[in-house]
Amino acid sequence: MEAVQTAKYPQDANPPSFESVWAILEENAQGMKELRESHKELSEIQKKTERIVERNAVEMGRLSKRMGEVVEYMVAPNLCEKFNELGFNFSQSNQNTIVSDKKNKISLEIDVFLQNYSKAMLVEVKTTPTTENVKEHIKRLEKMRKYADLHGDKRTFLGAVAGVVITDNVKEYVLKQGFFVIEPSGEGFNITSPNGQPKEW
C-alpha cells in the first residue's frame, strides 16, 4: 500500500497580511483612477483638436473663396480678348451671374459668363480645382442647356475652368471633358484648348 504524501511548504513562507493586501488593492485602485483621468484628459485634448481642425477648415474655406474672388477679378476683364484671339467673338463678360427658374427647379451660379449672339461660355473659377469641381461644372452646363431650351435660347454653350494651382492630373481631366483650362502665366494667364473639339451643350 502506497503511502499518501502530504505537500510540504517552506517553513518561512508566511501568508500575506491583511495590511499588505489592502495596500496592493489601494495601489491598483489609484492606478485605475489615474488611468481614467488620463483617458479623460486625452478625450478633452481630442475634442479641442477636433474643434481647432474644424475652425481651421472653415477659415481655409473662407480664404479659398476670397482667393477665388481675386482670381475672378484678375481674369474676367481680359477673358473676352483672350478667347477672341482663339477665334471666338464674345462681346460681353459678366461675373457672378445667377440663373434661376423656380418653376422648373433650375438654379445655378456662373463665376464668369462670356457670351455673344450664337455662343456662350461658362467659366468656373477655383483656387485649386479638383476633379469633383469639374464634375459639378458638367452638371452646371447641363442645367444651363435645360434652362436655355425652356426659354427659347438656341445658343451653343461651352465650358472652361480657371485656377491658381492646377495639378497635372486635374488639368488632363479638365481637357478630356472638353473644357478650356485657364491658368496663371507670368503677369497674365494662358488658355489651353481641350483635346480635340471643345464640348458643346
Residue 6, pLDDT above cutoff 80: no
Question: Mean of the pLDDT values across residues 104-121?
Answer: 92
What is d(CA 96, CA 98) in angstroms, rounded to the nearest whole number?
6
Q: How far apart are CA 156 and CA 145, in angstroms?
A: 8
Strands 119-126 and 106-115: antiparallel
CATH placement of domain 77-192: 3.40.1350.10
Write down the pLDDT at residue 17: 64
Contact 162, 125 (CB under 8 A): yes
Between strands 180-185 and 188-192, the pairing is: antiparallel
Q: What is the pLDDT of residues 59-97, one digit of tens each?
A: 555 545 554 555 555 666 678 888 888 889 898 888 889
> In the chain, what are the domain boundaries?
77-192
Q: Which residue has the cell 505537500?
A: 7
User: For residue 95, what are the β-bridge partners?
Assistant: 112
Q: Is the pLDDT at 182 greater than 80, yes or no?
A: yes
State yes or no: pLDDT of 8 exceeds 70: no
* pLDDT of amino acid 179: 96
- Can you give the pTM of this predicted structure? 0.65
Q: How confident is the model at residue 128 (pLDDT cuts 50, 70, 90)?
A: confident
